[in-house]
Amino acid sequence: MINNEKICFSGVQPSGNLTIGNYLGAIQNFSRYSEDYKCFYCVVDNHAITVRQVPAELRRRTYETLALYMACGLDPEKNTLYVQSHVPAHTDLAWILNCFTGFGELSRMTQFKDKSARHADNINAGLFTYPALMAADILLYQTDVVPVGIDQKQHLELARDIATRFNQLYPDTFTIPTPMLAKSGAKINSLADPTKKMSKSDENTNAVVYILDDRDTIIRKFKRAVTDSDTCVRFAEGKDGINNLMTIYSCFTGKTIEEIEREFEGQGYGTFKLAVGEACADALAPVQQRYNEIISDKAFLEAQMKKGADEASYYARKTLSKVKRKLGFVQI
């Protein structure tokens, strides 16, 4: 830790259009943490290439993701916003941590199994070992807390295990990070299959609401959302579709589940779906307006990339130097 600051770290892949799941489960909450933590928010482009990318699209989405960070309220004067590949210490430390990570640990990662099934023609070593890179991302900044969705909690537990193992051999090297789960909206599910997480890679575009979808598209997608044969807006077991919509509505309006049930008592699903769509569109409108202003200024974005990379590198070099010194690497 530097100057006794508490550190917060998180990252988002530039591998597809960001969804309201990314927004509600992570990015929306990020700006709140800058009052209590020194925050590092990274565009993790190294992680993105575990799946084949079109180079021009990866470049475009890297700019877009950084612009969305800022459009969603992340002030680059209060937060360190940067691109992962601009700080080589991430991959440098990842190799070291690979040597402290068990093959069995990596093989048990749920996301490796899922991605291997979806990309059976490209089950590469990076796909297998990227949890070690994720651990490096986190541990490099002596991170205290990591805002995570439920689906990433397993990877953070592995990062904690790796840090503990390393510290047992080389004491006082890494801070052990703690997960910080959002109280609500930690997992937003698909509108087409509400038993599964909303994924930006879903081939069914009606299953996913993107942050940059226009108002009409957002409302149309919510109107088509899968529900059940009941007509009562209530949160209950077996009502996955309505439970998901109520969670989304709660996140966008700040209303509790009990308040939502009272608001829509005696009203059908059609009325409720429209209300959810309108609440979502209303909340995203200022984000979209700010995004359009930022993305049109490439020079500004590149200046922020450079500034963020310089800030992140200052912290990263300190940890990496400590690790290499403890391992016995000669440094010149």
Active site residues: 115, 197, 200
Which residues are within 8 A (CB) of 327 and not within 5 positions of it... i.e. 6 or more apart? 96, 170
Cα distance between residue 302 and residue 12, in whole Å: 18
Can you tell me the distance from the alpha carbon of 176 to that of 7, in angstroms, rounded to the nearest whole number? 11
Asked whether 253 and 28 are in contact (CB, 8 A), the reply is: no
CA–CA separation, 24 and 136 (whole Å): 25
Q: Are 37 and 7 in contact (CB under 8 A)?
A: yes
The radius of gyration of the chain from alpha carbons, rounded to an integer in Å, stands at: 21
What is the rounded distance in angstroms from the CA atom of residue 191 to the CA atom of residue 207?
4
The DSSP code sequence of 244-261 is: HHHHHHHHHH---HHHHH
